[in-house]
A and B are shown apart, each in its own frame.
Chain A
Amino acid sequence: MISAYLMEELIMDKKELAKKIDHTMLKIGASREDIIKICKEAVENKFASVAIFPSNIEIAKEVLSNSEVKICVAISYPFGCDPISSKIFEIKGAIKRGADELDMVMNISALKSGRYDLVRREFEYFFEAADGRVTKIILENSVLTKDEIITACMLAEDCGLDFVKTSTGFNKWGTTVDDVRLIKSIVGNKIKIKASGGIKTYQQAIELIKAGASRIGTSSSVFIVN
């Protein structure tokens, strides 16, 4: 089936949408069985990746060894309140174990305190430590002002990161179409957008993609594409 993108209305078939989904299992106590289940679902539905804790990488690798589904790992999740040295340590360990993509929560306190030098330094270290893996920096839009979102996006773009991500999805912090539109208006095509947090339906996912997202993070992936 061919997906048709029209200026007025985006029609995307569910198979195309699946390729843009990071199938997420980041709940407290995610067990071996939970991880195996989402990996199998990701293979069956051809999702882009599974998004998991670093402690679950080995389990995911076992199931995904012969598939194209990527392993996306949550770094310094959900508060981003670790020093740079800690985040880098975590990233390097995750890469060694098999991470393909890294979703890292930024130092939100530094951003809010106006310490853009620290934010920039952290992004630069993130880029370097990722060593070619896909980098997604999590902003947590629901706790930021518009100016803070703009600053963070510009710094992320400057530092060569691959994606800005709107939300951790933790504690019901979600994402809106307006968030994505705002980010798109700042970054254009220079950096990609992952929308995550509270995405439960096909319609929501499509609206976010229409607004400029090219990746969706959700735990409702199977429901959305079936």
Chain B
Amino acid sequence: MNIDNFTRSELARRMNTSLIEPYVTDGQLRDFTGKCLNYPLAAIAVDTNLVSSLYVLLKGSQTKCCAVISYPHGGKTLDTKLNDIKYVIENGAEELDICMDYGAFRSGDYDKVRSDLEKLIKACRKYNPVIVVQFPVLSNEQKIKACELVLDAGGDFIKTSCGYGYETKVEDVILIRKELHEKIKIEVARGVRTLEDAKAMLRAGADRIDSSSVLNILICC
């Protein structure tokens, strides 16, 4: 797979973007989605309230409607997360980005983290759940541990960051590929602004890239 020979479409299919703000009017969502639909993006992510509107706007296209759960803190209870998962699926979500309980993870409460993840993944397995970890604040050992917990819980896809805070580095992707090989899929968030950034992440082994600069990147391609 030669990244440098990727066509614009091939690159677009590996990219996501999101529209997650405290307020998004119907008009803004329509305009944003309209621009994104110039490319066969993998998905657009929005918060729960916008899922049904986004689903309608994306219907018939190759781009999937992605819902974020307990974003960006992961601080909702398991019950609330499960309730939200049910809601977004009923309203058209085709992919889900679920924030793990980072507090429990940082406290070393791995049994709770794994048990919660098992239930969350089971609730939406056929919708390609991506578990959002928080690489920028974790040590290398913790990064690997977080991925292992996701695998133990029956998941196979992690996202490196919720997008706030420090950036994901190419070294992170290299680390996970080295330790876990192809067992887990990796979506990179935060740290990809240019076409070169995107290619570097894909070369290192990332499967998906979430970037707010996705349209600028694809224009350059």
A32, CB-defined interface residue at 8 Å: yes
B134 touches A29 (CB 8 A): yes
Query: Separation in Å of the B119 CB from the closest CB of chain A?
Result: 14
* Count of CB-CB pairs between chains A and B under 8 Å: 110
The answer to whether A32 touches B103, judged by C-beta atoms less than 8 angstroms apart, is yes
Q: Is A10 an interface residue (CB 8 A)?
A: no
Given contacts A28-B165, A107-B49, contact A86 B83 (CB under 8 A): yes
Chain A minimum-CB-distance residue to B25:
A113
Is A32's CB under 8 angstroms from B75's CB? no
Which of B74, B103, B105 is the most central at the interface, judged by chain A CB atoms within 10 Å of its CB? B103
Q: Which residues of A contact B75 (CB under 8 A)?
A: 26, 30, 53-56, 74, 77
- What total of chain B residues lie within 8 Å of the partner, measured CB to CB? 38
Cβ–Cβ contact B134 & A85, under 8 A: no
* Chain A, residue nearest B28 (CB): A109
CA distance A77 to B91 in the complex (A): 21
Does B109 contact A32, Cβ atoms closer than 8 Å?
yes
By the criterion CB–CB under 8 Å, are B22 and A30 in contact?
no
> B154 contacts which chain A residues (CB < 8 A)?
none
Given the known interface contacts A81-B48, A81-B49, A143-B23, the answer about A86 and B87 at a Cβ–Cβ threshold of 8 Å is yes
Q: Could you tell me if B22 and A33 are in contact, using CB atoms closer than 8 angstroms?
A: no
Give a binary string over A78-108; 1 marks a CB under 8 Å from any B CB, 0 the rest.
1111110110011001100100000001011
Give chain A's interface residue range (CB within 8 Å of chain B).
Answer: 35 or more
Are B23 and A55 closer than 8 Å at their CB atoms? no
Query: Provided the pairs A82-B48, A108-B23, A113-B25 are in contact, do residues A31 and B80 lie with their beta carbons within 8 angstroms?
Result: no
Q: How far is the CA of A77 from the CA of B73 in the complex (A)?
A: 8
Inter-subunit contact A26/B107 (CB<8 Å): no
In contact, B25 and A109 (Cβ under 8 angstroms)? yes
Contacts of A28 in B (CB 8 A): 72-74, 102, 134, 137, 162, 164-165
* Nearest chain B CB to A90 CB, angstrom units: 5
Contact with A along B25-64 (1 / 0, CB 8 A): 1100000000000000000001111100000000000000
Closest beta carbon of chain A to B136's beta carbon, Å: 10
In Å, the complex CA distance between A140 and B80 comes to 23
B102 touches A29 (CB 8 A): yes
Shortest distance between the CB of B53 and any CB in chain A (Å): 10
Beta-carbon contacts under 8 Å, A49-78 to B: 53-56, 74, 77-78
Among all A-B residue pairs, the 7 with the closest Cβ atoms: A53-B75, A81-B47, A29-B102, A32-B107, A108-B23, A31-B106, A31-B107
List 11 additional contacts besides A81-B47, A112-B23; criterion CB under 8 Å.
A29-B103, A29-B106, A31-B103, A54-B76, A55-B75, A77-B75, A82-B48, A86-B48, A89-B83, A90-B80, A109-B25
Chain A positions near chain B (C-beta within 8 angstroms): 26, 28-35, 53-56, 74, 77-83, 85-86, 89-90, 93-94, 97, 105, 107-109, 111-113, 140, 143, 168, 171
